[in-house]
Amino acid sequence: MADETGPEPTQEKKKGGKKGLIIGIMGALLAGGGGFYASYEGLILGPDAAASEHGAESDFPPLPEIAFVALEPMVVSLGGSANARFLRFSAQLDVTPESKEAVVMVLPRIVDVLNTYLRAVSEDELGKPAGLERLRAQMLRRIQVVTEKGQVRDLLITEFVLG
């Protein structure tokens, strides 16, 4: 009789485990579906979040009109004492759309200013981790001096390779 009572509880545990697993899965599916519905309809995040997802106006201001002027890729020699022999550099200028033509007309001056500055920079400054940001700020300032006030908003470096 002891043998008959032993196997029966294990069979009941297996049945109960499957039943619990099924109930758990159903509960997770219902909770997930309810959460999705509530967030989609804006019940959780509020009516503003739901309105923005359904095509209403955004709280963000519209992006300003932009225009870019590409600088020709430049190769600058770094001098005889430098380990690297040259710097390959290219960039884009972020300009106001109405000043794009005026900036294009002074591109030779911009290239001259950048060449002169980059030739004067030491290789140690080029190799520093924060050096690129400092160089970018210095170059942008020099470009803004050559162009009229407010024409060039930013300098975007697209290539900076020491070789």
- Report domain extents, the chain: 2-53, 67-162
Residue 73's pLDDT is what?
A: 94
Q: How far apart are CA 112 and CA 44, in angstroms?
A: 58
- pLDDT per residue as tens digits for the range 33-59: 888 887 777 777 665 544 555 555 667
Q: What does the alpha-carbon distance between residue 163 and residue 159 come to, in Å, rounded to a whole number?
A: 12
Q: What distance in Å separates the CA atoms of residue 14 and residue 136, rounded to the nearest whole number?
A: 69
Domain 67-162 class?
A: alpha beta
**For the chain, what percent of residues have pLDDT higher than 90?**
37
Average of per-residue pLDDT across 88-113: 94
Whether the pLDDT of residue 111 is over 60: the answer is yes
Give pLDDT, residue 50: 46
Residues linked to residue 67 through DSSP beta bridges, in sequence order? 95
3-state secondary structure of 101: helix
Q: Match 């210095």 to its residue by tokens.
A: 138
Rounded to two decimals, the pTM is: 0.59
* Average pLDDT over every residue of 9-16: 52
pLDDT at 130: 83
Tell me the average pLDDT of the chain.
81
DSSP string covering 54-73: TTPPPSSPPPPP-EEEEPPP
Query: Two tokens at 151?
Result: 């024409």
Q: How far apart are CA 79 and CA 114, in angstroms?
A: 16
Q: What is the reported pLDDT for 46? A: 60
Q: What is the H or E stretch that residue 149 is in?
A: none
**pLDDT for position 82:** 58
